[in-house]
């Protein structure tokens, strides 16, 4: 699938609803204020960079695919900045951005722990990672047997595994939220979404967010996050 075809999915009624729900979860998790800088790692077509820049955030999107970066820049002239970069080796100094996000891109990165460490390294305040949920209805529909369509080859996570991505890193206040309980996108899906708490770890979109700690407190946070998780209570 090329970038334009991928982006057109977000213009369908189902795609628009899912995209807005996921972007809303991201905004709530970041707790960002006007003028904050945000790095979007694995930005793809720039959909989420565009969605967040509308909230008066200063967005920078990076992706490993030059054609998709070029498409994102064309779709978003003058608002966000876009560049080609590897999630595992980001070309930015430590604490370059107020916040760092990655939305379902790490599901296709073999060295995901290295990528998460890079997100934490370049952030000053909040880090949010969007993942595909292995405890969701969508996984049963699209993820079995290695996945189908755009999900082929994707890695699906549980809430415990999502939390574990931050293990040993200088973060605190790890939170897990989910959205898109019923992925069909029809009226029943929307009613259920309004009624079900985001804290329940069964939505197709799983969001792991954490706060970056100061260098003075990083050792304590790393030790705290090194402890294994024994359950999936969030």
Give the H or E element holding residue 178: strand 171-179
**pLDDT, position 234:** 36
**pLDDT, position 55:** 73
What are the tens digits of pLDDT across the range 188-234?
999 999 998 888 889 999 999 999 997 665 554 555 555 444 334 33
Q: Can you tell me the distance from the alpha carbon of 200 to that of 145, in angstroms, rounded to the nearest whole number?
A: 25
Alpha carbon 4 to its chain centroid, in Å, reads 21
Numbers of helices and strands, H then E, in the chain: 9, 8
What are the tens digits of pLDDT across the range 3-23?
999 999 999 999 999 999 999
Q: Can you tell me the distance from the alpha carbon of 69 to that of 83, in angstroms, rounded to the nearest whole number?
A: 6
**pLDDT, position 198:** 83
What are the tens digits of pLDDT across the range 109-129?
999 999 999 999 999 999 999
pTM: 0.90
Residue 105 has pLDDT above 80, yes or no: yes
Instruction: Show the tokens assigned to 140.
Output: 């049963």
Give the H or E element holding residue 132: strand 123-133
pLDDT bin (cut points 50, 70, 90) of residue 42 is very high
**pLDDT, position 150:** 87
| CATH number, domain 3-226 | 3.40.50.150
**pLDDT, position 3:** 95
**pLDDT, position 229:** 45
Q: Can you tell me the distance from the alpha carbon of 192 to that of 182, in angstroms, rounded to the nearest whole number?
A: 8
**pLDDT, position 224:** 55
**pLDDT, position 56:** 87
Higher pLDDT, 197 or 94: 94
What are the tens digits of pLDDT across the range 130-177?
999 999 999 999 999 888 888 999 999 999 999 999 999 999 999 999
**pLDDT, position 215:** 64
**pLDDT, position 154:** 94
**pLDDT, position 232:** 41
Q: Can you tell me the distance from the alpha carbon of 172 to that of 209, in angstroms, rounded to the nearest whole number?
A: 9
CB 182 within 8 A of CB 192: yes
């Amino acid at each position: 699938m090329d970038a334009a075809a991928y982006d057109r999915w977000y213009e369908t009624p189902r795609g628009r609803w899912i995209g807005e729900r996921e972007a809303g979860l991201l905004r709530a998790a970041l707790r960002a204020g006007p003028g904050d800088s945000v790095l979007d790692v694995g930005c793809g077509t720039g959909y989420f960079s565009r969605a967040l820049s509308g909230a008066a955030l200063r967005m920078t999107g990076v992706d490993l695919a030059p054609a998709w970066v070029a498409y994102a820049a064309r779709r978003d002239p003058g608002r966000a900045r876009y560049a080609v970069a590897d999630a595992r080796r980001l070309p930015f100094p430590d604490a370059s951005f107020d916040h760092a996000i990655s939305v379902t891109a790490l599901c296709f990165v073999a060295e995901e722990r290295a990528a998460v460490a890079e997100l934490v390294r370049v952030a000053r305040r909040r880090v949010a990672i969007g993942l595909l949920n292995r405890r969701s209805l969508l996984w049963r529909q699209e993820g079995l047997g290695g996945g189908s369509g755009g999900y082929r080859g994707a890695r699906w996570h549980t809430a415990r595994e999502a939390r574990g991505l931050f293990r040993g890193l200088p973060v605190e206040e790890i939170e897990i939220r989910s959205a898109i309980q019923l992925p069909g996108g029809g009226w029943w899906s929307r009613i259920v979404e309004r009624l079900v708490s985001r804290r329940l770890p069964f939505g197709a979109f799983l969001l792991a967010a954490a706060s970056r700690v100061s260098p003075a407190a990083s050792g304590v946070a790393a030790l705290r996050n090194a402890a294994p998780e024994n359950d999936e209570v969030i």
